[in-house]
Amino acid sequence: MFRIILARLVSTVIVVFGVASLVFLLIHFVPGDPVDMMLGENAQMADREALRESLGLNRPVGIQLLHYFSNLLQGDLGTSLHSREPVVQMLAERLPATAELAMASLLISCLIAFPLGIIAALNKGKTWDKTAMGVSLLGVSIPNFLLGPVLILIFSIYLGWLPVSGREGLDSMVLPAITLGTALAAVLSRMIRSTLLEVLQEDFIRTARAKGDSHYQVVIRHALPNAMLPIITLLGLQLGVLLGGAVITETVFSWPGIGKLTIDSIMKRDYPVVQGCVLLISLTYVIVNMLTDLLYAWIDPRIRLGQ
Amino acid sequence: MTFLFRKSVLFKKVCFLLIILSLAGCSNPNSNAIRFGLASAPISLDPRFATDATSARINRLLYQRLVDFDEHFRAVPSLAEWELLGDRHYRFKLRDQGRLFQSGEKLTANDVKATYDYILDADNVSPHRGALLNISNIAVVDSNTIDFFLKNADPLFPGYLVIGIVPERVAKQGLVLNKRSLGSGQFKYIDWPSNDHLIIERHRDKQRVEFIHVQDATVRVLKLIRGEIDLFQNDLPKELVRYLENRESIHVEHCQGSNFSYLGFNLEDPLLKDRRVRQAIAHALDKKSLIQYLLGGETISANTLLTPDHWAGLKSASSYEFNLEKSRQLLKSAGYDNSHPLLLEYKTSSDPFRIRIATIIQQQLAEAGIKVKLRSFDWATFYGDIKAGRFQMYSLSWVGINSPDIFRYVFHSASVPPKGANRGRYNNALVDTLIDQIESTPDVQVRINGYQQLQQQLLLDLPYVPLWYEEHFMAANDNISGYQLVKDGNYDGLNDVMKKL
């Protein structure tokens, strides 16, 4: 187990270093100047240069990159060019919102996907199966920028149950979580159906049935736990995506998360914030993947024992 | 394994229960406050640094400035009256009343000097420094009187003193008030709990105003309908404005604006440097339909950068009427016809509404036989291209134009970026001379005549095809009253807005 963690940590450092350098170079090479975005056109040439110098943007990109990494090693992500706030603080303000929404939508996707997937698998080829998979197809087909406003219309405007947008209390999380969760549930339920179908063909299921276990016991106790590995992989990937911020959903629901911060800072060419966001997102991905692997090893002794 | 699974089922049940419970306890934010929806969040509450429109408009509520503009864009006293003591010496006398900072200290001439000295100090890199470089010295006479000495005579000088005054100790200690405010305006700063939520309070009656940033236009409308915001101003597609106009409990008001939209050309481009081509484009545009169907309300067709009621604006002008025949003739005389059509590339930002306008213009120009390839970019890329002259044709707006010195900045041949905003590389010796002459005379009437002549010349030359002055509008729930729209689109209406509970 220790070796798995160590290997993962080493690869984490390499991945994060690679991502950080790539993003640094890309964002510096795309057209668009942060000084223009900040000063507008009324500024004098000398003021532009002064600002460029005070922000360190007049130095060669290589030197800026080195400077960035040396600060990074000391845990300093820099300050926003626009608001002059420390990037760490900006990320710390946004991270809880993103994490909250990610967990809630993952929960909702599980609540939808497990029943759908199980029903579909147990009734393969029948009307139930087709209905369940039809529903999941619908979930994955409706884009979030449409589903979001439709849900707002129904639950906020006509029924008046939930707030339209913003992040004020738990109730404001329901609609964005459902919007994100349904799309995830669609993929997840298909995965559950197919892996469950596979497992249900296995010998030990027949044995369990032969022992006289009830249908319910066979599925819940034997089939589902054995179908969990690929499902956990998918859940891990989805959690990674969610923690990286869901830009469209965050925009529609004015949810102050990482995704919106990333896009806004790219638009403003706020280099330190973009770098901070991307670093955080890539770190989250790597950590979630690592945790998924550890979870594997914990669930499945074959992996843990290296067989 | 079974245990793990059972535990997770239990966990889900608990979470589900939590969600259901939370549904029952919907939160209700402070309902006395007036909630104002914003399309973009303010960036800085420090008037010495803020450049974005939202911050500038909110800072007007939190800070006072020496000078303001009347409805004809003439500089008028705000915090101070002024007199000209020599051609390069202005004396400002602060008014007696209403000079208290949020902290309770009185605003004095020392605060004014400290604010402007801070901006003029190159080390502080204030974006407003460039406009104030004509100041050679600022001297405090007494606590109510302050003198500004200039390097060169400039009758428009008072119009530059529109920056909010911060307390002297803030300026002296080098504090930057990005996330708080210590002004002396009609409102005081209360809190800025998140980037999307700013709270201020009116001194007079303790009425709170909360600014709530809702980026998505549809969601902003839905929030208004549900009463989660009480009012907002601008930044909405026409169909949503119509939708709101037809709703019972919401009222929509319109007012003429001063933001000038135009089609810009690259005059170094071999195709567009021919004036006949630009005139053909002007005649091919059916501005009336565009305004009627797309912009609506109080949007009015424009002939020049300044509105007709600006003190230096063009009072009478023969504009380019919509005439496809004339357009085709001009194109033909320039050497283009159906077998050899004019091909142009048109750049615009990625804003959906701007793209829609551009698409209609593309269609209108096609009817005159001009083929236009439309390209849209994110704002930073688009703006970078425009400044660098990497375009044939583009559309943009000038926002917040008060002073006619904009003509030097936009059309003088010495103002090619980065020195100014002559993005189309317009070079006309006559226009340069006119601008130089106007700015060297102190006589206001001579200046007005000069500006008339200059604007006629620009209309003839068409370095820009003037489009329109976009209207401002506000939409509010019926319990909101007293919000007055103004021409430059600021939020001063909040000084008098009331909410019926």
Residue type present at position A109: S
Instruction: Report pLDDT digits (tens) over B282-311.
Output: 999 999 999 988 887 789 999 999 999 999
Nearest residue of B to residue A265, measured between CA atoms: B380
From A254's Cα to the closest Cα of chain B, the distance in A is 6
Which residues in B lie closer than 8 A to residue A169 (C-beta atoms)?
22, 25-27
B:362-401 residues touching chain A, CB 8 A cutoff: 378-381, 383-385, 387
From A14's Cα to the closest Cα of chain B, the distance in A is 31
Question: CA-to-CA distance for B448 and B310, rounded, in angstroms?
Answer: 10
Element (H, E) at B58: helix B53-62
Q: Residue B149: which CATH number?
A: 3.90.76.10
Question: CA-to-CA distance for B156 and B408, rounded, in angstroms?
Answer: 13
Q: First-to-last CA distance in chain B?
A: 58
B24 assigned to some structural domain: no
B460 with B331, same domain?
yes
Domain boundary pick from B120, B146, B172: B172
Instruction: Report pLDDT digits (tens) over A259-278.
Output: 888 988 888 888 889 888 98
Strand B34-38 relative to strand B208-213, pairing? parallel
* Per-residue tokens: A299: 């669930």
The count of structural domains within chain B is: 2
DSSP B135: E
Res B11 pLDDT > 80: no
Out of A291-300, B16-25, B134-143, the most confident range is B134-143
Instruction: Report pLDDT digits (tens) over A112-164.
Output: 999 999 889 888 888 888 988 888 888 888 888 889 989 999 999 889 898 88
**Are A43 and B2 an interchain contact pair (Cβ–Cβ within 8 Å)?**
no
B140 assigned to some structural domain: yes
Is any Cβ of chain A less than 8 angstroms from the Cβ of B39?
no
Residue from the list A42, A174, A267 with its beta carbon closest to the beta carbon of B130: A42
> Phi, psi (5° rounding) for residue B408?
-65, -45
B4 assigned to some structural domain: no
**Are B384 and A48 an interchain contact pair (Cβ–Cβ within 8 Å)?**
no
Three-state SS string across B387-413, please? HHCCCCEEEEEECCCCCCCHHHHHHCH
Which residues in B lie closer than 8 A to residue A51 (C-beta atoms)?
125, 127
CB atoms near residue B300 (< 10 Å): 16
Question: CA-to-CA distance for A161 and B95, rounded, in angstroms?
Answer: 52
Res A46: pLDDT: 66
Q: Which of B52, B195, B229 to mutate to test the interface with A (most CBs of A within 10 A)?
A: B195
Residue type present at position A45: M
What residues contact B100, with CB distance under 8 A and at least 6 apart?
Answer: B106, B107, B184
Contact B358, B290 (CB under 8 A): no
Three-state SS string across B374-386, please? EEEECHHHHHHHH
Question: CA-to-CA distance for B215 and A265, rounded, in angstroms?
Answer: 14
Is any Cβ of chain A less than 8 angstroms from the Cβ of B429?
no
B:171-230 residues touching chain A, CB 8 A cutoff: 176, 178-179, 194-197, 212-216, 218-219, 222-223, 225-226, 228
B276 with B413, same domain?
yes
Res A245: pLDDT: 73
Compute the CA torsion angle B165, B167, B169, B173 (nearest 10 deg): -40
Res B119 pLDDT > 80: yes
3-state secondary structure of B261: strand
**Are A153 and B26 an interchain contact pair (Cβ–Cβ within 8 Å)?**
no
3-state secondary structure of B136: strand
* Per-residue tokens: A167: 């992040």
Selection from B365, B260, B262, B273 nearest residue B313 by Cα: B260
Rounded to an integer, the average pLDDT of B212-217 is: 90
Query: What residues make up the domain containing B275?
Result: 264-469
B163 with B279, same domain?
no
From B193's Cα to the closest Cα of chain A, the distance in A is 10
B475 assigned to some structural domain: no
DSSP B485: P
* Per-residue tokens: B246: 């037809």
Q: Which of A47, A145, A164 to mutate to test the interface with B (most CBs of B within 10 A)?
A: A164
> Phi, psi (5° rounding) for residue B460?
-70, -45
Rounded to an integer, the average pLDDT of B420-428 is: 91
* Per-residue tokens: B439: 């700015």
Residue from the list A31, A48, A107 with its beta carbon closest to the beta carbon of B12: A107
**Are A83 and B222 an interchain contact pair (Cβ–Cβ within 8 Å)?**
no
**Are B43 and A83 an interchain contact pair (Cβ–Cβ within 8 Å)?**
yes
Res B27 pLDDT > 50: no
CB atoms near residue B206 (< 10 Å): 9
Cis geometry, peptide bond prior to residue A60 (ω within 30 degrees of 0): no
B404 assigned to some structural domain: yes
B192 assigned to some structural domain: no
Which residues in B lie closer than 8 A to residue A269 (C-beta atoms)?
380
Question: CA-to-CA distance for B326 and B153, rounded, in angstroms?
Answer: 46
Question: CA-to-CA distance for A270 and A265, rounded, in angstroms?
Answer: 5
Selection from A58, A47, A276 nearest residue A264 by Cα: A276
From A50's Cα to the closest Cα of chain B, the distance in A is 6
Res B12 pLDDT > 60: no
From A89's Cα to the closest Cα of chain B, the distance in A is 12
Res A44: pLDDT: 63
Res A3 pLDDT > 80: no
3-state secondary structure of B318: coil
Is any Cβ of chain A less than 8 angstroms from the Cβ of B1?
yes
Question: CA-to-CA distance for B11 and B34, rounded, in angstroms?
Answer: 41
Element (H, E) at B138: strand B135-142
B163 with B303, same domain?
no
**Are A82 and B379 an interchain contact pair (Cβ–Cβ within 8 Å)?**
no
B:96-125 residues touching chain A, CB 8 A cutoff: 122-123, 125
Res B237: pLDDT: 84
Q: Which of B134, B162, B216, B375 to mutate to test the interface with A (most CBs of A within 10 A)?
A: B216
Q: Assign B10 a pLDDT band (cuts: 50, 70, 90).
A: very low
ipTM confidence score: 0.78
Q: Which residue has the higher pLDDT, B22 or B115?
A: B115
Strand-pairing partners, residue B231, are B36, B476
Residue from the list A164, A174, A268 with its beta carbon closest to the beta carbon of B223: A164
**Are B25 and A83 an interchain contact pair (Cβ–Cβ within 8 Å)?**
no
Domain boundary pick from B142, B157, B172: B172
Q: Assign A166 a pLDDT band (cuts: 50, 70, 90).
A: confident
B461 with B327, same domain?
yes
B28 assigned to some structural domain: no
Q: State the number of CA atoms in the 13 A half-sphere of B374 facing the CB.
A: 18
Q: Residue B336: which CATH number?
A: 3.10.105.10
Which residues in B lie closer than 8 A to residue A48 (C-beta atoms)?
418
B293 with B431, same domain?
yes
Which residues in A lie closer than 8 A to residue B223 (C-beta atoms)?
164-165
Which residues in B lie closer than 8 A to residue A168 (C-beta atoms)?
27, 29
Which residues in B lie closer than 8 A to residue A171 (C-beta atoms)?
22-23, 25-27
Q: Which residue has the higher pLDDT, A45 or A9?
A: A9
Give whole-number Cα distances, B270 to A300, B273, B275, B331, in Å.
71, 6, 11, 14
Question: CA-to-CA distance for B58 and B48, rounded, in angstroms?
Answer: 13
Domain boundary pick from B105, B138, B172: B172
Contact B14, B6 (CB under 8 A): no
B464 with B361, same domain?
yes
B135 with B270, same domain?
no
Which residues in A lie closer than 8 A to residue B378 (C-beta atoms)?
32, 267
**Are A85 and B23 an interchain contact pair (Cβ–Cβ within 8 Å)?**
no
Residue from the list B22, B197, B380 with its beta carbon closest to the beta carbon of A269: B380
Strand-pairing partners, residue B481, are B498
Res B14: pLDDT: 47
B272 with B138, same domain?
no
Selection from B184, B179, B112 nearest residue B141 by Cα: B112
Q: Which of A27, A47, A57, A192 to mutate to test the interface with B (most CBs of B within 10 A)?
A: A47
Q: Which residue has the higher pLDDT, A242 or B362?
A: B362
Res B2: pLDDT: 40
3-state secondary structure of A46: helix
B298 with B433, same domain?
yes
Residue from the list B2, B43, B219 with its beta carbon closest to the beta carbon of A165: B219
Q: State the number of CA atoms in the 13 A half-sphere of A67 facing the CB.
A: 12
B58 assigned to some structural domain: no
B125 with B270, same domain?
no
Res B155 pLDDT > 90: no
Question: Mean of the per-residue pLDDT values for chain B?
Answer: 88
DSSP A141: H
B282 with B389, same domain?
yes
The dihedral sign for the CA sequence A151, A153, A158, A162: positive
Instruction: Give the residue ranges of DSSP H helices in chain A.
Output: 2-29, 34-39, 45-55, 61-73, 87-122, 127-141, 144-151, 171-200, 203-210, 215-217, 224-226, 228-243, 247-252, 258-267, 271-299, 301-304
Q: Assign B1 a pLDDT band (cuts: 50, 70, 90).
A: very low
Residue from the list A41, A164, A253 with its beta carbon closest to the beta carbon of B226: A164
**Are B125 and A47 an interchain contact pair (Cβ–Cβ within 8 Å)?**
yes
Contact A120, A133 (CB under 8 A): yes
3-state secondary structure of B475: strand
Give A187-214 as a DSSP string: HHHHHHHHHHHHHHTSHHHHHHHHTT--
Rounded to an integer, the average pLDDT of B467-495 is: 93
Place of tokens 């692997």: A293
Res B318: pLDDT: 76
